[in-house]
Structure formats: structure tokens, C-alpha cells
Amino acid sequence: MKVFVDGQYGTTGLGIHERLNKRNDLDVLSISEGNKKDLGNRIKLMNEADIVFLCLPDEAAREAVSLITNPNTRVIDSSTAFRTHHDWTYGLPELSALQRKEIANAARVSVPGCHATAFVLMIHPLVQSGILPRHYPVSCHSLTGYSGGGKTLIEQYESGGISDPNSSLRHPQHYSLSLNHKHLPEMKKVTDLAFQPVFLPTVCNFYNGMVGTVPLVTRMLTDRPGLREIHAALADSYQGERFVSVLPFDAVRDISPGALDPTACNGTNGAEIFVMGNNDHVLLACRLDNLGKGSSGAAVQCMNIMLGLDEGAGLNS
């Protein structure tokens, strides 16, 4: 099968290539960095490929899709352009068996955002089970590495920003303070919440890795479930999944204060969910690699499903 990455020199594109280059079961088409803006060459490769990964800004992704005229070319997009579009399949197979089947048969798949992935994995099963009411006022916080900001932010951090003792980049920084982060529409739609969550992300001076957290007040949940009931609902939802796991209570108790390391899943396509707190106040946490399950790894996982291959081919659990 022929595969082409349009935008292969960006952060996500490089991550996809890194995973594909380890394999011998695919014909990876490529374009030199000097010719990456050669429209004719790009169009030729996109229409020659069986699978095209789009690793582009939103508008460029929309334009690229319009250039694909081969009806047999299937597309996996990593931008936010199509994540809530009704003609595109949301690329999170762990949502349900039906979602995995839809991805397998899809011609167009949109890869979730990294923050949205963590949020949806925590919240979707609780809404579906009825534990979390659709009208619950959900809030979410995310701690993430600076690679999620793309080339511009990476350059700011790595051109001396971290080493400068007077630089604000040495310290965690809240952003999207207007509370209109671009992942919010998919966070609401995919979880079937009635309202968008209040979401505040924080970027830190490590390259990749992230932890998303959601606090819940159990007296506002259906039938006031306890900590173990919430844990059981999440554990049941992801039972048997290769890349999403709910850590047992014993593992959570072993985490010392302040030691929920956001980089512990780096280099993998795994996502780990923690259920902490007590029967009155519950804290959900989801840890993943924002460049793995949060982008490039998720894209390759979707490709494997679409091509009928081993879902974990080229990916680390």
C-alpha cells in the first residue's frame, strides 16, 4: 500500500514518518523539503497514494482535500478542520466497537486533538453510562509539553528560552485565557455534553507529554456514585484495549504527592487513566504523549485499522 504524508516536515508529519520508516509493509512516498511547495508534485503523490496523511494548518488541509480527485485515496487529517464535520469519522477507535468499525470503512478520518483525546477518554464513558449528566458543568485542566505548539513555539523554547534564567518560558504558563481553545467543539460533540467544558491548558518547559484532569463533585452526579463505581465504569469501558488503560487503585495509591509525571507515556501510543480523590470529590486524570496518542501515533493507529493491519503495527504500547 502506498502512503504519502503531506506536511511531512512539521512536528506531526515527522512523527508519522518516524513510525512508518520502521516498517517494511508500506511504500512510503516522499517529497524533498526543497520541493514541498511544488503543487504539481504534491497533487501527483496525493492521488497516487492509497492513504494520505494531512499534517497541515486548517485552511491548507481543506485545500489539500479539494486536490484529491482519486476516489480510492483515503485521507487521515491531523488538523482541527474536520473533527466535527459530519462527513468525517472521528479517529478515536476506543470510543466503541462501532467507532472502530467506522474507522475501518472510512474514506475520511480526522485525528483527535491531544487535549481532546485525554478529555474524551475520561468523560465519554461516564456520559454514556448515565453517571455524568449531560448538563453537568464540566471543567478541565491540561498540563502539556511545548511541542504541541508547533514549530514556532518549539523555536521559542529551544532558542535559549529555557536556559535564560530570566525567561518566562522556564515556568508553566496558562494559555487560551479567553477559554475558547480550538479543541472545545470536538470535546463537547464527541462526549455528547450539553455545553462546552471550561478548559484551561498550561504549557510547560518539557518537550512532550501531557496530563489532562477533570474534577467531579459526586453529589451532582446521577445516584451519587462513589469513587469505586466511577473507576469501575471507566475500567469496564476500556477492558481489553491495547492502548488505553485505567490504573487500579493500588497503583494510584503508590503515586506520591506531586509525582504524576506527565512524561511517563512518552514514546508510546498509550493513554493511562487515573481515578483519585474520595467519595465526595473525584479527580480524573489522563496521561499520554501529545506526539503519540495525541497526534502521530493516533494517526498511524487509524491507518492500521483502515488497511486491515494489526492495529498496533509500528506503535509502542
Active site residues: 114
**DSSP-derived pairing of the beta strands 74-77 and 108-110:** parallel
Within a 10 A sphere around the Cβ of 229, how many other Cβ atoms?
17
How many CB atoms neighbour CB 156 within 10 A? 15
Closest to 104 measured CA to CA, from 311, 256, 295: 311
Give the phi and the psi of residue 287 in degrees, each rounded to 5.
-110, 135
Rounded to whole angstroms, the Cα distance separating 301 from 304 reads: 5
Grid cell for residue 197: 467544558
Alpha carbon 45 to its chain centroid, in Å, reads 27
Q: What span, in angstroms and rounded, lies between the C-alpha atoms of 157 and 160?
A: 6
DSSP 31-90: --GGGTT-HHHHHHHHHH-SEEEE-S-HHHHHHHHHT---TT-EEEE-SSTTTT-TTSEE
Between the CA of residue 113 and those of 6, 52, 123, 154, 303, what are the distances in Å? 18, 18, 15, 18, 17
H/E stretch holding 255 reads: none
Residue 92 and residue 297 in contact, taking contact as beta carbons nearer than 8 Å: no
